[in-house]
Structure 1
Amino acid sequence: MTVDLFAGVYVGDLAAATAWYTAVLGDGPAFRPNEVEAVWELAAHRYLYVRRNPAHAGHAVQTVLVGDLDARVAAIAERGVEPALREDYPNGARKVVYRDPDGNELGFGAVPAAQRTVG
């Protein structure tokens, strides 16, 4: 079964958000479907998009699980963005949270191999 995901984040300023997400994700948008959106492909069939909508900006919470959290955080730091929060859970899972210019949260997490499930 193929699973496609489009996770959206409302932002106030599309240009500022595009610059910030480019710095965090390491590359510019994969495409821009219209004048108010920018879309990044995180993995095959899995996308994160930002859409200009100032009335709703700042309330998103997204978490992306990655294989090597430390490498991801180091690469983002090299691009000049530092996390707002780091969390360690009793079960060994970890999460690093970044906040975009509107206050939306984009987290990257890692789960111990023994706890991963494939669906």
Structure 2
Amino acid sequence: MTIQRLLAQMTVTDLDPATAWYTALFGRGPDARPMHGLAEWHLSDTYGVQVWAEPGRAGHSTVVLAESDLDERLARLARAGIDHGGAQDATAFHVLPVTDPDGNRIVFTGPSAATGTGR
């Protein structure tokens, strides 16, 4: 028995506006809608992000995604109109925190020329 896939779940109040926001964040629509109240972005063959509508639990999720190019991620966020505080120095890498409309936190990590060398 082996675990073969990981899907981080972001719990939101309302799926339709959340799907629009995550579509802007990832630059494409969901890859699957396996059941009512759920949208999935498959970021690779082995991991992805689920957006799940459950109003009573909304806004308390966090996911950390290793990004190959934070500068390009910053540019994509700007083009999508998604607010953020910019990339920040951390001990061994750089972080770019983003918050969805429900208060869930998405943290991109990785190298950034704008903030210095990466990990």
TM-score, length-scaled by structure 2: 0.85
Structure 2: give runs of 5+ residues left out of the alignment: 112-116
CA distance in 2 between counterparts of 1:79 and 1:101 reads 14
2:14 is the alignment partner of 1:13: yes
> What secondary structure sits across from 1:43 in the alignment?
coil
Q: How far off is 1:72 after superposition?
A: 1.4
Partner deviation per Cα, 1:8-67 (whole Å, 9 max, x = no partner):
011001011100000011000001011100000112221100110011000111110011
Please state how far the C-alpha of 1:79 moved relative to its aligned partner.
1.3
RMSD between superposed Cα atoms in Å: 2.0
Kindly tell me the number of residue pairs found equivalent between the two proteins: 113
Q: Which residue of 1 aligns with 2:109?
A: 109
Structure 1 equivalent of residue 45 of structure 2: 44
The whole-number CA distance in structure 1 between the counterparts of 2:28 and 2:59 is 22
What residue number does 2:55 align with? 54
Following TM superposition, where does structure 1 have runs of at least 4 consecutive aligned residues deviating by more than 4 angstroms?
none
Q: Is the Cα contact below 8 Å between 1:68 and 1:110 reproduced in 2? A: yes
Give how far 1:84 is off: 4.1
Q: TM-score, length-normalised on structure 1?
A: 0.85
Measure, in 2, the Cα distance between the counterparts of 1:2 and 1:57.
27
Is it true that 1:99 corresponds to 2:99 in the alignment? yes
Percentage of matched positions with identical amino acids: 35
> How far did residue 80 of structure 1 move?
1.1
**Which runs of no fewer than 5 residues in structure 1 stay unpaired?**
none
Distance 1:73 1:52, change over 3 A: same
